[in-house]
Structures are given as C-alpha cells and as structure tokens.
C-alpha cells in the first residue's frame, strides 16, 4: 500500500467531471463506471482511505484498461490515470504474481535465445499440421481464452535475425549512423516491416546497425513488474550507448515510446537516470527519421489506391508523432489518402489484451474495422506490429477487404525497393 499512499494527491486530483468517459473505448462498450478512469480512480482512492480493501478483487478493474491514454489526453484536471493504474498494478503484483507472468517475465523476456526458440516452436506447431488438426478436431477450444489468441496469430515467419544476412548493405558514403532497435514483435512476427525499415534507411544514406538488444521492457511495466523492466532497460542502455549512433530508430511505436520513457524507470540519483536520458534524446520513430532525411527517391506507386492510416496509441500519445506518417503517405504520388475516422482510438490489441480480454478486444476492433470500411481504403497503414496483427485479424473476422501494411513497407514499395518479404499494394 505504501506505493499507493504516495500517489494519493495525484488520485485526488480527479474532479469526477466524466470527460474521460467520452473517449474511453472500453467504457463505450461496457457502459460500466468501473471500466473508465473516473470509476477506477474512485476505487483506488477509497482503498487508500481505508474504506474498501485493496486486494485481488481489484484485479479485473485494473486489468480491463487498454492503457491507451485517451482519457489522460482528454482530462481537464491533468490526472495521469494510466500512471496511477500502473502503480496500482505494481502494488498488486507484489503480493501475487500468476505463474504464467512469472515464467514470461523472469524466465523468457530477459533471454533473447529463449524468445527465438518460442518462435521456432510456434513455426513447428503451424508447419507440421498440428495447428490444423487441433482446429479441425475442435481441441483448440480447450485452450480457453488462448483459442482466440490462436486466431489472432499470423503465419509465423522466419525471424528478422534469420533474414538479416539478406538485407541491403550499408552505404559506403553514409551520412548518419543509426541504431535500429529491433522489437520482439517485429523480430518474431512481422520481420518484413523490419527488413523494409532497414533497407529503406540504408537506401537513404544511413549506416544502420542492428545491435543485439533485449525486449524493451514495456510488457513488464504493463503488468507491474518494474524491477524486470529496469533490468532490461539497463542492458539496452549499455548496448545502445556503446553503439554511439546519431539516432536510435524503432518501427514499433510501443518499443519507441518505451525507450523514450526509460528515464522514468530510474530515480534521479541513479547513474542510469542520466544514461537513460541520453538514450531517450536519440529515439525517433521510423516516420520521423524518414522525414529528417533528404528524400533521394520521389515516392510514387503505380497502383491507384485509397490508403488510410491507423495511429497506434504509443505513436500518437507516446511519441507524439501521429502526423509524420500521414505526411509521408500524402506525399506518395498515385495514392489517395483518406483520413480514418477515430484514427487515434485504440484498435484493441494493446499488447496482450487481445489474449487476456478477447471479447472486449473484439468489440473495440469491430468499431475500428467499420471505420476502415467506411473510408473505402484498399490499404490501411500503421506503425506497430501488434496493431498490424489486430487489423489483419479484424479484416478476416469482419470481412473487410483491406490489406494491412507497415509504413516502412509502403515507403519501400513507393521507392521501388525490392525485397522478397514485401507484399504488393494490389
């Protein structure tokens, strides 16, 4: 409880105006006060005041939030409700850590080789026919909520690390040195976006290195395991400082915003605080870096298509870089850009939310997909591997005829960079 007592004043700043309700994707679906910032803050406040106990009964309320920060952006009192929520989750995690979380945070994420092994096991599961046997027999239903996750999972490709030898070489006359931060989602599930990102930056004169970094630590923060996040951050900070590049670029909005937030993990007296600030100062999203570079190729596509853009929460409200991808898309000749209604509303992926809350996630996704359908777009572009998988899942589920591409993929296509992994826009 001591952590919670320390944030009492922050919690008490809530004036109960209810502005958070208007933008909360979860409240929109449940109409339940406990699903939105105001209700959650009231519960936390009452528990600090000793009116109700703070125990596992809180769990559902605390974990039903997408952490999309839409409420924070819309709060006239400036209540950082998602930070408060993370403190509450961390307080709960001190007393009770579910076995699955213990395995993931203590025995998987800190070990990149084990993470890669998971990818290989999943590929075996898919490629040996075991997946289709389980699906046809109905046994996949025994997985419970994981059965939904099974639907969400794309064909597991070769990892980015496996594809690395096939990348375009660094230019000899490079003008900038860039460290590409390889996120777990990009490496394991969406390597094509990483290949496109690195190749397109190298073609624009950057010397791009891909250091052997660890998970950014965001999943650990989300589940209240600040100690694990801190250890991962320290390792990444040491590696990235050693790389000594001009920029640290990420094509995953979640990883990028986690790196930007590294200073928040450390006490200002900790030597890593200053190091974390140095790293955070160099972090840019892929779109920001593309716009900084002299564009040697004029972007154009032969296919005349309508393209729209979904803003990942960590890009818009984390890195504050929602406009840059739109600027790039609007500059591509041959593309008609149409603004997506509610473009910056969460798609419902929210890391592992799709696994822990499949029904709610699907309800949030339905609205997103109907908005996409209304634009008439044949391609929806975004900047996060989890959003990509969620939108692909939504297109299948709700029968929306749209292709999902990462910004790096459409930039590569529009610069005529040919890589084996890329899809065409048609």
According to the binding rule CB under 6 A, does residue 38 interact with ligand SF4?
A: yes
Q: Select from 4, 11, 20, 299 the one that contacts ligand SF4 (CB under 6 A).
A: 20
Residue in the structure block whose two tokens are 């040697």:
296
Residue 68 as a binder of ligand SF4 (CB under 6 A): the answer is yes
As measured in angstroms, the least distance from the Cβ of 239 to ligand SF4 is 31
Work out whether 204 is an interface residue with ligand SF4 (CB under 6 A).
Answer: no
75 contributes a contact to ligand SF4 by CB under 6 A: yes
Least distance from ligand SF4 to the Cβ atom of residue 345, Å: 9
190 versus 357: smaller Cβ distance to ligand SF4: 357
37 binds ligand SF4, rule: CB under 6 A: yes
Residue 127, token pair as written in the block = 């490629």
Min. distance of Cβ 76 from ligand SF4 in angstroms? 6
Q: Which of 224, 240, 236, 233 is nearest to 265 (CA)?
A: 233
**CB of residue 79 vs ligand SF4: minimum separation in angstroms?**
4
> Which is nearest to 348 in space by CA: 72, 175, 152, 56?
152
Closest CB to ligand SF4 among 81 and 419?
81
**In terms of CB distance, is 77 or 103 closer to ligand SF4?**
77
CA 120 to chain CA centroid, Å, is: 22
For β-strands 247-250 and 176-180, DSSP reports them as: parallel
SS percent in the chain: helix, strand, coil, step 5: 60, 10, 35
Give me the 372-391 binding string for ligand SF4, x by CB under 6 A, dash otherwise: --------------------
Stretch that binds ligand SF4, among 17-25, 47-55, 237-245, 365-373 (CB under 6 A): 17-25
71 near ligand SF4 (CB under 6 A)? yes
Nearest distance in Å: CB 44, ligand SF4:
11
| 12 lies in the binding site for ligand SF4 (CB under 6 A) | no
**324 neighbors 381 (Cβ within 8 angstroms):** no
Binding mask 76-115 for ligand SF4 (x = CB under 6 A): -x-x-xx---------------------------------
What is the rounded CA–CA span in Å between residue 298 and residue 213? 33
| Residue 249 phi, psi dihedral angles, 5° rounding | -110, 145
Whichever of 7 and 176 has its CB closer to ligand SF4, that residue is: 7
First to last CA, the chain: 55
Least distance CB 90 / ligand SF4 (angstroms): 16
**What would the two tokens of residue 19 be?**
């502005």
CB 81 within 8 A of CB 216: no
Helix residue spans in 294-357 (DSSP H): 313, 323-331, 353-356
Using rule CB under 6 A, residue 31 touches ligand SF4: no
CB of 52 to ligand SF4, least distance (A): 19
Q: Is 66 in the site for ligand SF4 (CB under 6 A)?
A: yes
Q: Which contacts of 323-329 are long-range, i.e. CB under 8 A and separated by 24 or more positions?
A: 324/285, 324/287, 324/288, 324/290, 324/291, 325/287, 325/381, 325/383, 325/407, 327/287, 327/291, 328/287, 328/290, 328/291, 328/299, 328/407, 328/411, 329/381, 329/407, 329/410
Interface of this chain with ligand SF4, residues 118 to 177, rule: CB under 6 A = none
Q: Is 69 in the site for ligand SF4 (CB under 6 A)?
A: yes
CA distances, 266 to each of 3, 27, 42, 218, 222 (Å) = 15, 33, 28, 15, 16
Phi then psi dihedrals of residue 204, to 5 deg: -100, 20
3-state SS, residue 302: strand
Q: Is 26 among the residues that bind ligand SF4 (CB under 6 A)?
A: yes
Nearest distance from residue 354's CB to ligand SF4, in Å? 14
Smallest distance, Å, CB 375 to ligand SF4? 23
28 or 373: whose CB is closer to ligand SF4?
Answer: 28
Contact positions toward ligand SF4, by CB under 6 A?
14-20, 23-26, 36-38, 41, 65-71, 75, 77, 79, 81-82
């Amino acid at each position: 409880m001591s952590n919670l007592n320390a944030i009492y004043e922050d919690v008490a700043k809530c004036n109960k105006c209810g502005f958070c309700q208007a933008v909360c994707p979860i409240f929109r679906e449940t109409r339940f006060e406990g699903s939105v910032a105001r209700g959650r803050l009231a519960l936390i406040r009452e528990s600090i005041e000793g009116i109700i106990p703070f125990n596992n009964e809180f769990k559902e309320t605390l974990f039903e939030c997408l952490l999309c920060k839409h409420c924070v952006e819309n709060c006239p009192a400036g209540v950082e409700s998602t930070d408060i929520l993370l403190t509450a989750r961390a307080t709960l995690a001190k007393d009770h850590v579910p076995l699955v979380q213990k395995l993931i945070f203590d025995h998987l994420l800190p070990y990149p080789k084990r993470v890669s092994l998971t990818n290989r096991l999943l590929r075996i599961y898919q490629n040996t026919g075991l997946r289709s046997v389980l699906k046809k027999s109905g046994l996949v239903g025994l997985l419970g909520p994981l059965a939904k996750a099974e639907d969400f999972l794309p064909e597991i490709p070769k990892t980015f690390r496996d594809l690395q030898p096939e990348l375009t070489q660094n230019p000899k006359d490079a003008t900038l040195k860039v460290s590409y931060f390889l996120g777990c989602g990009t490496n394991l599930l969406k390597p094509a976006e990483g290949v496109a990102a690195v190749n397109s930056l190298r073609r624009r004169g950057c010397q791009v290195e891909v250091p052997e970094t660890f998970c950014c630590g965001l999943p650990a923060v989300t589940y209240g395991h600040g100690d694990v996040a801190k250890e991962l951050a320290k390792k990444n900070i040491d590696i990235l400082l050693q790389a000594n590049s001009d920029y640290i670029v990420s094509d995953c909005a979640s990883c990028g915003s986690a790196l930007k937030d590294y200073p928040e993990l450390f006490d200002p007296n900790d030597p890593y605080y200053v190091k974390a600030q140095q790293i955070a100062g160099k972090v840019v999203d892929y779109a920001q870096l593309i716009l900084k570079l002299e564009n040697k190729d004029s972007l154009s596509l032969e296919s005349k298509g309508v393209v729209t853009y979904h803003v990942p929460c960590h890009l818009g409200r984390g890195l504050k870089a929602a406009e840059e991808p739109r600027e790039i898309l609007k500059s591509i000749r041959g593309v008609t850009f149409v603004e997506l209604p509610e473009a910056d509303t969460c798609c419902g992926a929210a890391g592992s939310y799709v696994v822990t809350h499949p029904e709610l996630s699907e309800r949030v996704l339905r609205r997103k997909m109907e908005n996409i359908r209304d634009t008439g777009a044949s391609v929806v572009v975004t900047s996060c591997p989890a959003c990509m998988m969620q939108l692909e899942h939504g297109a299948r589920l709700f029968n929306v005829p749209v292709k999902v591409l990462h910004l790096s993929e459409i930039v590569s296509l529009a610069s005529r960079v040919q890589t084996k992994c890329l899809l065409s826009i048609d």
